[in-house]
Homo-oligomer: A and B are copies of this chain.
Amino acid sequence: MTCEPEAVVPRGRPLDSNLDEEILSATHDLLAEVGYERLTMEAVAARAGVGKGAIYRRWSSRAQLVAAAVGRLRVRKDVPDTGTLRGDLGQIAAAWSEPNSKRDRVLVGLIAAIAYDEDLRRIHRETFSDPRNSAVATVLARAVGRGEVRADLDLEVVTRTLPALVFYRLVVEGRPADRAFLDHVVDQMVLVLTHPRPVGDRAG
């Protein structure tokens, strides 16, 4: 008998995957140009040269569409290994502050939507937060392994400190997270995590 549990027999004309591309690309562009709040489905359809139906057939809401478009963005995942915490965090700082204006504008445009859409929040985490966190987590773990960083810390909290400060600076303070800022934060982190307190530091 040939009754395998084949999932579903696809019937009818399949979705044209070229259109996925066109639509997400248009979404991407518009997100960078006008931001999430002013992005309209009609504009996406027009820009992509596509009917609105073709969009709604794939994503049921603006948030889902944007989530998919943003999901295409990828941050670099290579984890530096210079041998010192300062070196590693410095490379990460360099990577994060490396200008990629379009991606950054998309990100900023995205923040507006994150608060309300769990999908979007997940996408944002998977695409941006998690990769960044894991890079920091890795270099921190190595530093602990090397004895460079004390072993009694909760690395989860320590890891989040760097992305959190960047996010706070961008969103709340509305200032750029540039190289100088990142280097300074890295300095402070290295300071508190690794610097041996000089004897006699405490007043007496």
Contacts and interface: CB of A to CB of B under 8 A. Distances in A.
Number of copies of this kind of chain in the complex: 4
Interface string A149-177: 01011100110110111011101111000
Contacts of A118: 174
Interface residues of A, number: 47
Contacts of A77: none
Given A111-B171, A118-B174, A171-B114, A153 B197 contact: no
A121 interface: yes
A42 to B, nearest CB: 14
A15 interface: no
Contacts of A108: 115
A181 B174 CA distance: 26
CB-CB nearest 6 A-B residue pairs:
A164-B168, A147-B203, A164-B164, A192-B192, A111-B115, A112-B112
13 contacts: A129-B173, A150-B201, A153-B191, A153-B192, A154-B184, A157-B185, A158-B192, A161-B164, A163-B172, A164-B165, A164-B168, A171-B171, A196-B197
Interface of A: 35, 37, 108-109, 111-116, 118, 121, 124-125, 129, 147, 150, 152-154, 157-158, 160-161, 163-165, 167-169, 171-174, 184-185, 188, 191-193, 196-197, 199, 201-204
